[in-house]
């Protein structure tokens, strides 16, 4: 009795054996092309960070620092950068303690610098360029500060874009340095883990419960793309809300 030849299945010109057919991650067509594009972009970035971790820590520090600078902080995606890079902690590319430290020190120096500028120049700084180009945000920051008092410094850490304006406003309105730091430092000690740990836990869960391997970087890809997509959606939502509010204010003004 003749033995039948081994079963081979072809996709295009590529033979697929039984093990290949059983693989749940075999993807062909447009989805595979998209995956290849993502992989070709993110994998070299992850490898670079793994080989030059100090640059990643410096990036985290600068992201947290610049996010606290008035005006600059409203356009620097500091939170997005921190959330995205936190995905590299479970695989060992970055160390959790250094990520937290870099983010916290950057935030302390950024908030402190903005506060001292306001403290030295008082209300004059609020009527100086470039803050004069953002009268609505400055007004919102003042209202936020008057509404919550010292707690405004704490809450503002978690509320973009006034996060970049409240420290300078607190200094300009005469908040005492000891009082400022007594609220600001605890806020940062909560803010830093709140931005780092979600990525660490999410990627760890993907590897632990979805069976994804760290060396494949799939969990990192999923988290990084989710963060970027979420940031884009949030940015568009804020832009649409501001446009509608601006249109409403313009319509409400009496015509001459």
Predicted pLDDT of residue 248: 54
Q: Give the pLDDT mean for 17-43.
A: 50
| Among 114-118, 138-142, 158-162, the least confident range | 158-162
Under 8 Å between Cβ of 23 and 64: no
First to last CA, the chain: 101
What DSSP string describes 102-124? HHHHHHHHHHHHHHHHHHHHGGG
Which one is predicted more confidently, 16 or 45?
45
Which one is predicted more confidently, 43 or 252?
43
Under 8 Å between Cβ of 131 and 36: no
In the predicted structure, residue 123 carries a pLDDT above the cut 90: no
Q: Give the pLDDT mean for 210-225.
A: 72
In the chain, what percentage of residues exceed pLDDT 70?
76
pLDDT in tens, 52-69: 899 999 999 999 999 888
In the predicted structure, residue 252 carries a pLDDT above the cut 90: no
C-alpha triplet 103, 223, 162: angle, nearest 5°? 45
């Amino acid at each position: 009795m003749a033995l039948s030849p081994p079963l081979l299945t072809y996709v295009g010109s590529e033979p697929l054996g039984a093990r290949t057919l059983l693989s749940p991650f075999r993807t062909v067509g447009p989805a595979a092309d998209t995956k290849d594009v993502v992989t070709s972009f993110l994998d070299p970035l992850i490898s670079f960070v793994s080989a030059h971790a100090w640059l990643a820590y410096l990036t985290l520090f600068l992201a947290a620092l610049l996010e606290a600078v008035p005006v600059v902080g409203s356009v620097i995606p500091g939170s997005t950068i921190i959330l995205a890079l936190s995905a590299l902690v479970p695989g060992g590319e970055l160390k959790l303690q250094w990520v937290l430290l870099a983010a916290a020190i950057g935030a302390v120096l950024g908030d402190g610098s903005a506060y001292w500028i306001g403290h030295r120049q008082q209300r004059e700084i609020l009527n100086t360029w470039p803050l004069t180009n953002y009268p609505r945000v400055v007004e919102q920051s003042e209202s936020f500060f008057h509404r919550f008092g010292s707690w405004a410094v704490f809450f503002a850490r978690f509320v973009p874009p006034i996060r970049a304006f409240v420290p300078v406003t607190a200094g300009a309105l005469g908040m005492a340095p000891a009082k400022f730091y007594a609220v600001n430092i605890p806020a940062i000690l909560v803010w830093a883990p709140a931005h780092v740990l979600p990525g660490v836990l999410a990627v760890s869960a993907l590897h632990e419960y979805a069976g994804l391997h760290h060396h494949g970087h799939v969990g990192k890809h999923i988290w990084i793309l989710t963060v970027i997509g979420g940031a884009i959606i949030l940015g568009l939502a804020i832009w649409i809300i501001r446009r509608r509010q601006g249109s409403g204010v313009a319509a409400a003004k009496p015509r001459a």
